[in-house]
Amino acid sequence: MRALKTRITSLLGIDYPIVQGGMMWVGRAELASAVSNAGGLGILTALTQPDPGALATEIARCRGMTTKPFGVNLTMLPSVNPPPYERYLDVIINGQVRVLETAGNVPEAYIAKAKAAGVIIIHKCTTVRHAMAAERRGVDVISIDGFECAGHPGSEDVGGLVLIPAAANKLTIPLIASGGIGDGRGLAAALVLGADGVNMGTRFCATREAPIHENIKQMMVDKTESDTNLILRTLNNTGRCLKNAISDEVVFREHQPGGVPFKDIAHLVAGARGRKILESGDIEDGLVWGGQVVGLIHDIPTCHELLQRMVKQAQERLALASAWLLQ
Ligand SMILES: Cc1cc2nc3c(=O)[nH]c(=O)nc-3n(C[C@H](O)[C@H](O)[C@H](O)COP(=O)(O)O)c2cc1C
């Protein structure tokens, strides 16, 4: 395979400019190490581990499965009982993890602490405004999530086709395009739009190594690009997940006159319920986070197969586009 080198591959020490974003309950050592071994950057998800000590064990487990660089995601969302974020951060630093992916509201002191320890920080956000603020605060890379993405797309609803070049116009640090990318065409497009690499979540859920039930992977193969729901919009916490009985029910209740208070749908959206179905495979019994890119997912390859064909297809597309210049 010919190389595909960008600022991201040099900075992160990886072969291909492809990152696996943090994913609650999915971002464990099996997946992160498989992505890193395939030449991308795999990322563990800190809060999937019940406490900082368990994260230290997971980092050691991942290191036992790959000699390549990998990262850890630390997502900081407002919470009634916030996790001990700083202790998780200390474990990441002490575990000599090369890359930290942050999302949500990251205190300036945490950025300074990680940087002082030599950790490369990728900050993921959904607006150019937030990306510029993070650059000013000293993060090394921005990962910008377009409206197509799984998880939390924010509230401004700007798709990648505009968001990626808009971010590239304003930033000087490397940029990773995230949301809606699932094949080599998406990778090529992102690079042409001004990104230095791509981040994928949903596509990596439907790989052989993703540590989730086969029914969930098959669900991603079966769904189309029209099969996602935006939940919790009325509560200012928009999340994109796959259509099923539970997400349909949440949307239905939110659209009743007067809306719905969170306490009446909390049992439907509970993280523990989502975790359970990833293990049980009962695809109608909890939320399954997933983006519009499910419409481009037609099989369940290994991470190695996925990255090889993505890079090959991206190179073919870029060559095809360059050939148009010669006509
Ligand atoms: C199952 C799942 C869980 C996710 N959990 C998190 C999370 O805990 N923290 C985070 O920053 N992003 C999370 N994401 C978002 C991904 O890291 C990534 O930004 C997003 O999936 C990109 O869009 P795509 O799915 O279209 O590739 C999650 C995505 C999925 C599919």
Residue whose token pair is 């002082």: 116
Least confident of 14-18, 65-69, 269-273: 269-273
Residue 191 confidence (pLDDT): 98
How many whole angstroms from 151 Cα to the centroid of ligand 1? Answer: 5
Residue 52 confidence (pLDDT): 98
- Is residue 220 a contact partner of residue 206, using CB atoms and an 8 Å limit? yes
Residue 1 confidence (pLDDT): 77
Q: Give the closest residue (by CA) to ligand 1 atom 19.
A: 21
For the packed helices 303-326 and 29-37, what is the interaxial angle rounded to 10 degrees? Answer: 40
When pLDDT is averaged across residues 171-181 and rounded to a whole number, the result is: 98
SS3 292: helix
Please give the DSSP secondary-structure letter assigned to residue 261: -
Residue from 289, 306, 310 whose mutation best tests the ligand 1 pocket (most atoms within 8 A of CB) = 289
Residue 78 confidence (pLDDT): 78
Q: What domains does the chain contain, in order, with CATH numbers?
A: 7-211+299-326 (3.20.20.70), 214-292 (no CATH)
Mind listing the pLDDT tens digit for each residue in 221-278? 999 999 999 999 999 999 999 999 999 999 999 999 999 999 999 999 999 999 999 9
Mind listing the pLDDT tens digit for each residue in 77-115? 878 789 999 999 999 999 999 999 999 999 999 999 999
| β 120-125/42-45 pair status | unpaired
Report which of residues 77 and 204 the model is more confident about: 204
How far is residue 155 CA from its own chain's centroid? Answer: 17
Binning pLDDT at 50, 70 and 90, where does residue 197 land? Answer: very high
DSSP string, 207-239: STTSSS-HHHHHHHHH--TT-EEEESGGGT--E
Tell me what percent of the residues of the chain surpass a pLDDT of 90: 96
pTM of the model: 0.97
Mind listing the pLDDT tens digit for each residue in 297-324? 999 999 999 999 999 999 999 999 999 9
How many whole angstroms from 137 Cα to the centroid of ligand 1? Answer: 23
Neighbour-count burial of 165, counting CB atoms closer than 10 A to its CB (0-12 exposed, 13-18 middle, 19+ buried): middle
Residue 80 confidence (pLDDT): 78
| 125 pLDDT above the threshold of 90 | yes
| β 175-178/141-145 pair status | parallel
How many whole angstroms from 23 Cα to the centroid of ligand 1? Answer: 5
